[in-house]
Amino acid sequence: MGDDTAQTPAQTPAQPAAQPDDLQQILGYQGAIDERDDVRAISDDVLIVPFWTPSFCTTVIRAAEAVGAFEPQPDDPVPGHEVSLALISPRLFEAVEIDLGVRIWPQLQQVWPYIDYHGLRDVFVIKYAMGQQEHLRLHHDVAQVSASAKLNEGYEGAVLDFPRQGVTNQPAAVGELIVWPSLVTHPHQATPLRSGVKYGLTIWFELPSF
């Protein structure tokens, strides 16, 4: 081959990376990951870990609203207006379960070295709105580890509050997980919503089975 120029691709001007569209985000988990590896403690055994980008949080809210089935689960002793990610898309649920196991769980093991990953008990979007759900009573969760992220801004109240630890989720930005051991030591509540609409993501990590 004496003529290399024939195989040189035509030069095209650099294009800014296109934003993934809704389907690429929800079905392909594109643009979801907040890459920062930055676990930090706000109390004994209450951590904050970057998880999702704010734009992905917005897309998940839109997907949950499009599904339009914010319902209390019939067997939930602390009922909330919730949509499981599995109901939005089994592929999304699977991508989240893998991402949490591969990327987030090792960060939690830096603080809690003996926890083992057994997948997710559930992960859902919870909605607070005046006249619908305005608070969540003090309770603890039935899971190994729990996590929660704010998905939006523009509301007042509905603060995730840990009275025993004396901390709230206010230091966490949209898309950052606040993470705690689920049972016994970490009762928590959502304070009354005062205005606006709040969407949160709740994650329950599955308990070990013996």
Which backbone phi and psi does 137 adopt, to 5 degrees? Answer: -70, 160
In angstroms, the CA 202 to CA 150 distance is: 9
* Cα–Cα distance for residue pair 41/48, rounded to 1 Å: 6
Mark the segment that binds Fe ion (CB under 5 A) among 28-36, 60-68, 139-147, 172-180: 139-147
Q: How many helices (H) and strands (E) would you count in the chain?
A: 5, 13
Q: Which C-beta is closer to Fe ion: that of 141 or that of 176?
A: 141
Least distance (Å) from Fe ion to the CB of residue 45?
Answer: 15
Judged by DSSP in three states, 68 sits in coil
Closest approach, Cβ 168 to Fe ion, in A, equals: 14
Give 80 or 175: the residue with its C-beta nearer to Fe ion: 80
Binding part of the chain for Fe ion, among 61-69, 87-95, 136-144, 172-180 by CB under 5 A, reads 136-144
Q: Which stretch binds Fe ion (CB under 5 A): 41-49, 82-90, 100-108, 137-145?
A: 137-145
Q: How far apart are CA 35 and CA 103, in angstroms?
A: 9
Please state whether 144 falls in left (phi above 0), alpha (psi between -120 and 50) or beta: alpha
3-state secondary structure (DSSP) of residue 43: strand
Q: Which stretch binds Fe ion (CB under 5 A): 88-96, 121-129, 133-141, 165-173?
A: 133-141
Output the smallest distance, CB 142 to Fe ion, in A: 9
Least distance between Fe ion and beta carbon 177 (Å):
14
For Fe ion, the nearest residue by Cβ is 141
Closer residue to Fe ion, CB minimum distance, 96 or 136: 136
Work out whether 34 is an interface residue with Fe ion (CB under 5 A): no
Spatial contact of 61 and 199, defined as CB atoms under 8 Å apart: yes
In the complex, the smallest distance separating the C-beta of residue 139 from Fe ion, rounded to whole angstroms, is 6
Q: Is 82 in the site for Fe ion (CB under 5 A)?
A: no
- Alpha-carbon span 136 to 124, nearest angstrom: 15
Q: Indicate the residue among 90 and 163 with the shorter CB distance to Fe ion.
A: 163
Q: Tokens for 97, please give them.
A: 């379960």
Q: Which of 82, 141, 161, 176 binds Fe ion (CB under 5 A)?
A: 141
Q: Shortest Cβ distance from residue 121 to Fe ion (Å)?
A: 12
> Closest Cα to residue 31, out of 41, 42, 17, 43?
17
Contact residues for Fe ion (CB under 5 A)? 141
